[in-house]
């Protein structure tokens, strides 16, 4: 599919990779429905896209709220006059070891249920509801289309990220599941798994941990949102790509 034919939703679009994807799509002439809980960031995104060949529509979206997901998909379809794409990008971190001994007191602490539920709610349940409702809308309107799920190389296992790993591994696995289920409607499903990318999320990392990770990247640098956009663009445009996950990680192995 050509980028200028897309009427596409991008979640987590107020900053970082999501904002980059939305602008790149608008630059190519696509219509984009941008969703995020950060309404100020969405307003900045819309302003930054003025004058581009495409258009960015924006509305608050909490993907962890099932009712908001359904309402957003209906709104996006109406605002753009159709719907044929989804970049399933929204995600959060609530890192912590499953079990840890406090170095000072020796006390044993654990990952909280709240940490687990928050990440699973956004990164997995919310992402799944987005695919479900977007695919249902495409099927009902007989629109061929494509979904791109943002997984992560952390899906192979990463210390301190039980919640995030579970969500991102499930997204990669369900990319295959959803390919098999949605092919009958002419809907392709692919995934892109970033490594360490320069975003507000990674900028908040402990500097020592960040430096140690970068030192282990064979490409010798942290990735940029543009690096991931190139993979997302490939999945969107290549009509023979389906059910697979592309790792874009500079060679980093966790």
Active site residues: 164
CA distances from 28 to 41, 157, 178, 232, 253 (A): 21, 36, 27, 13, 33
Q: DSSP character for 99? A: E
Name, in order, each residue with C-beta under 8 angstroms of 107's C-beta and a sequence gap of 6 or more: 101
CA distances from 138 to 41, 90, 191 (A): 28, 21, 19
CA distance 154 to 164: 8
Answer positive or negative: Cα dihedral of 126, 132, 135, 137: negative
């Amino acid at each position: 599919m050509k980028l200028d034919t897309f009427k596409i939703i991008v979640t987590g679009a107020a900053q970082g990779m999501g904002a980059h994807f939305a602008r790149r799509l608008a630059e190519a002439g696509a219509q984009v429905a941008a969703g995020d809980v950060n309404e100020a960031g969405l307003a900045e995104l819309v302003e930054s896209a003025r004058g581009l060949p495409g258009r960015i529509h924006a509305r608050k979206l909490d993907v962890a709220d099932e009712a908001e997901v359904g309402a957003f998909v209906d709104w996006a379809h109406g605002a753009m006059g159709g719907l044929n794409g989804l970049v399933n990008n929204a995600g959060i971190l609530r890192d912590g070891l499953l079990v840890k001994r406090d170095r000072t007191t020796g006390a044993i602490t654990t990952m909280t249920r709240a940490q687990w539920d928050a990440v699973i709610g956004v990164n997995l349940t919310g992402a799944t509801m987005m695919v479900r409702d977007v695919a249902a809308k495409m099927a009902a309107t007989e629109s061929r289309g494509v979904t791109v799920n943002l997984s992560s190389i952390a899906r192979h296992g990463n210390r301190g990220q039980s919640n995030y790993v579970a969500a991102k591994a499930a997204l990669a696995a369900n990319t295959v599941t959803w390919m098999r289920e949605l092919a009958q409607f002419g809907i392709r499903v692919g995934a892109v798994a970033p490594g360490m990318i320069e975003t507000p999320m990674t900028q908040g990392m402990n500097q020592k941990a960040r430096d140690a990770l970068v030192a282990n990247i064979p490409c010798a640098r942290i990735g940029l949102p543009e690096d991931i956009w190139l993979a997302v663009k490939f999945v969107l445009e290549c009509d023979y790509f389906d059910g697979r996950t592309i790792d874009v990680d500079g060679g980093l192995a966790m």
